[in-house]
Amino acid sequence: MPSTQKPTYPSLPSKLILMSTKSYFSTSHTISYLKTLLSPSSGIIPVRNPDILFGLIPDFLSIHPCVQILEEHAASQTTSTHSQSWPLHLGAQDCFWSNDYGAYTGEVVPPALKELGVTIVELGHAERRKLLAETDETAARKAAAVSALGMIPLVCIGEIEAPNLQGPMSAAVGNAMRQLIPQITSLLEAVPSEAPVVFAYEPVWAIGAADPAGVDFVGPVVQAIREVVKGFEAKKGRTGQTRIVYGGSAGPGLWSGQTNGGNPLGSWVDGMFLGRFAHKIDGVKKVVDEVVESMTVS
């Protein structure tokens, strides 16, 4: 039976770097990948700023062995800034919407993830919407279940059609927001007002593309998303923290502006949600270094 005790919510730092392996890795590959991340030779762990949340979101089969690796790593360390003595947060790529253990064949319920030490649950990804007919409603129900246990819902939002950037930017942003607003508000309606939420803005047309969406477009869309959240807070009394990260072919150089004409994405968003560009450890390190450096300069 689910606990009736009010959950304790984690405080979200100012910056987040999250990585999903999707279903690209075998379990053995994921284990090797995590061990390399944790190795001192990678130069990544520990992340050199306590105001950065660093998280790995593997496939379901790999979560338990990742837990074992993280516990062994923590036991070998004398100090740690992670609330569970782990050097990074562990996530899951989905969950079921019930907080009861029960007859949900093939599904993974949130309390099972919570027991393992998962702190972040990714929901509503465009691929699951396309392949498995998931909707705003199912994402909201799952987010409510995740929040009820004190975990953080990482909710993917994004518009389907690529923008027409030949016309006014305001029109392009407005077209995107007509699709995004229902995704945002339905989610915020579902979770407790004090629960933290992370929105991963991933334009569907940019997922898997050779290049990310242009920052000249992403920036104003993210600002519009923030205005929607602020409006919801003012009308509904929401007090929980909300962070916005960018996904959709996100990789090295985007945060700092090195790959997009000097317009840094880091000026607009709270973090990065990395997919295939994080498959190489050196790509992860480059992104971590960019984020750390930007916080040092600011």
Catalytic residue IDs: 125, 202
- How are beta strands 242-246 and 120-123 bridged, if at all? unpaired
How many angstroms separate the CA atoms of 133 and 237, rounded?
Answer: 32
Contact 91, 36 (CB under 8 A): no
Query: Nearest 10 degrees: CA dihedral of 205, 207, 210, 215?
Result: 70
Q: Which are the contacts of 279, defined by CB distance < 8 A and separation ≥ 6?
A: 21, 24
Q: How far is CA 117 from CA 63, 71, 120, 155, in A?
A: 9, 10, 9, 19
Structure tokens at 13: 């730092």
Kindly give the residue spans of alpha helices, DSSP state H, lying in the chain: 27-38, 60-75, 110-116, 126-132, 136-148, 169-190, 215-236, 281-297
Q: What is the DSSP letter of 211?
A: S
CA atoms within 13 A on the CB side of 182: 7
